[in-house]
Amino acid sequence: MDNKNFKNKEIEEAAARIAASSRLVVSTGAGISKESGISTFRDADGLWNNYRPEQLASREGFLANPGMVWKWYRERLLTAKEHDPNPGHYALARLEEILPWMLLVTQNVDNLHRRAGSRQIVELHGNIERYRCLEHSHPAELDPEWGDDPPICHCGSMIRPDVVWFGEQLPQAELETAFNESARCDVFMIVGTSGLVQPAASLPQIASSAGAYVIEVNVEESAVTHWSDLFIEGRSGEVLPLIAAETERILDLNLSK
């Protein structure tokens, strides 16, 4: 989509709200990573193809076939590292730099937001570049040379990816931060998500109910669009840089007055 096809008034409205905000929360889903070339789980070429989700993303699946699961996550990690953050990732990092306060809440585990420069991040589903002990959940470091089987922790347990599997609770501290800050922000922006995965899907509702202005950026309407005050249809890699640039222009203009 060419930039000229975006309605200027929508970009200007989003930027004006963000520039005036004291606390911005941004929630991102698989859509922003898809624009970097990383497959989502349920697309036609999705990550679940040829497998049942419980085979690859559950404690039971890991214990049943640790080698298969380990190699699948290794391939996911290598794929993530082969792809670069896109302009949408960098635009969010820029917003964090120029705004008084911003929190990024993501469902993605690919680490692209951190690589783009975002720092204040809540990773609801973990991070594929981190590891922890299967039995005791303490952080674990890996030898750079991966084998075909999970390495053994110093405590004797297998090491697993530090991501949330089916049947597991989301990290409590991160979840509480996401809920609390969504209820405190004055602007909430949701980007590239279907709005179907809980509890992340409830965050715009929490923000809206607390009085925040809700902006959605997506290629199509989603399950959370009805909670949005402003819906901007388009790719995040095209829309977010426009919002960030206009936000910066407004802030610079305010400083010059």
144-196 pLDDT per residue, tens = 556 788 988 888 899 999 999 998 999 999 999 999 999 999 999 999 998 88
Cβ atoms of 186 and 213 closer than 8 Å: yes
Task: Classify residue 43: in a domain, yes or no.
Answer: no
Instruction: Please tell me whether the overall predicted TM-score, pTM, comes out greater than 0.85 for this model.
Output: yes
Cβ atoms of 243 and 252 closer than 8 Å: no
Could you tell me the residue range of the domain that residue 234 belongs to?
Answer: 1-38+86-125+168-257
Do 137 and 230 reside in the same domain of the chain?
no
Average pLDDT over residues 91-115: 97
Question: Per-residue b/e over 48-59, b at no fewer than 16 CB within 10 Å?
Answer: eeeeeeebbbbe
Average pLDDT over residues 70-93: 93
Do 33 and 56 reside in the same domain of the chain?
no
Q: What residues act catalytically?
A: 125
Q: How far is CA 107 from CA 122, 144, 175, in A?
A: 9, 26, 11
Do 91 and 156 reside in the same domain of the chain?
no
* Residue with tokens 């000229």, as numbered in its chain: 4
**Confidence (pLDDT) at 39:** 79
Do 200 and 235 reside in the same domain of the chain?
yes
Alpha helices in the chain (DSSP H): 8-19, 30-34, 53-56, 59-64, 66-82, 87-98, 112-116, 172-184, 203-209, 236-256
Do 240 and 177 reside in the same domain of the chain?
yes
**Confidence (pLDDT) at 147:** 74
Task: Classify residue 56: in a domain, yes or no.
Answer: yes
Q: How far apart are CA 231 and CA 6, in angstroms?
A: 12
Q: How far apart are CA 8 and CA 178, in angstroms?
A: 31
Do 208 and 186 reside in the same domain of the chain?
yes
Sequence letter at residue 125: H
Residue 110 tokens read as 């690919």
* Residue with tokens 């989502």, as numbered in its chain: 40
The two beta strands, 159-163 and 187-191, are unpaired
**Confidence (pLDDT) at 213:** 98
Higher pLDDT, 54 or 207: 207
What percentage of residues in the chain have a pLDDT greater than 70? 91
Domain boundary among 113, 134, 163: 163
Laid out side by side, the sheet with 187-191 consists of 121-123, 102-106, 24-28, 187-191, 213-218, 230-233
Number of structural domains (the chain) is 2
**Confidence (pLDDT) at 1:** 43
Q: Which of 83, 92, 91, 93 is nearest to 34 (CA)?
A: 83
Q: What is the CATH number of the domain that holds 110?
A: 3.40.50.1220
Average pLDDT over residues 234-251: 97
- Please check the confidence at residue 46 and state whether its pLDDT lies above 70: no
* Residue with tokens 């060419």, as numbered in its chain: 2
Task: Classify residue 7: in a domain, yes or no.
Answer: yes
Average pLDDT over residues 5-19: 89
